[in-house]
Amino acid sequence: MQEMFEKLPEKFYVTNVQVATIWTNPQAARAEDQDGITNPTDILKWVNSLTYEQGLALCNENLVQSQTLYGEPVIVLGEEEGWAHVIAPFQPSKKDARGYPGYIPIRQLTPVTKEAWLQDRYSVVITDDARLEAPEKETNMPLSYLTILPYSGESHTHVYVQTPAGRQQIVKEKTVTVAKETGLTPGSGTDIVNAGLPFIGLAYFWGGMSSFGYDCSGLAYAVHKANGYWIARDAGDQAAAGKEVSIDAIEPGDLLFFAYQEGKGDIHHVGIYKGDGEMLHSPQTGKGIEITPLKATKYEKELCAARRYWR
My answer on whether 110 and 15 are in the same domain is yes
Residue 248 lies in a domain: yes
Q: Are residues 98 and 126 in the same domain?
A: no
Structural domain of residue 127, as residue ranges?
Answer: 119-179
Quote the pLDDT of residue 137: 79
User: What pLDDT, on the 0 to 100 scale, is given for residue 250?
Assistant: 98
**Do 12 and 164 form a contact (C-beta atoms < 8 A)?**
no
- Per-residue confidence in pLDDT tens, the chain, 311 aa: 888 898 999 999 999 999 999 999 999 999 999 999 999 999 999 999 999 999 999 999 999 999 999 999 999 999 999 999 999 999 999 999 999 999 999 999 999 999 999 999 999 999 999 999 998 878 899 999 999 999 999 999 999 999 999 999 999 999 999 999 999 999 999 999 999 999 999 999 999 999 999 999 999 999 999 999 999 999 999 999 999 999 999 999 999 999 999 999 999 999 999 999 999 999 999 999 999 999 999 999 999 999 999 99
What does pTM read for this prediction?
0.98
Considering the domain architecture, whether residues 206 and 276 belong to the same structural domain is answered as yes
Residues 158 and 104 reside in one and the same domain: no
Given 128, 157, 179, which residue is the final one in a domain? 179
Count: domains in the chain:
3
Do 41 and 76 lie in one domain? The reply is yes
Question: Do the beta carbons of residue 193 and residue 223 sit within 8 Å?
Answer: yes
Domain assignment of residue 184, yes or no:
no
Indicate which CATH number applies to the domain containing 203.
3.90.1720.10
Residues forming the active site? 216, 269, 281
Q: Do residues 195 and 292 share a domain?
A: yes
Tell me, yes or no, whether 254 and 202 share the same domain.
yes
CATH number, domain containing residue 162: 2.30.30.40
Q: How far is CA 154 from CA 18, 125, 170, 177, in A?
A: 22, 15, 9, 10
CA-based nearest residue to 199, from 304, 288, 79: 288
- Are 283 and 202 part of one and the same domain? yes
* Measured distance CA(299)–CA(291) in Å, rounded: 12
Co-location of 20 and 59 in the same domain? yes
- For residues 36 and 64, state if they share a domain: yes
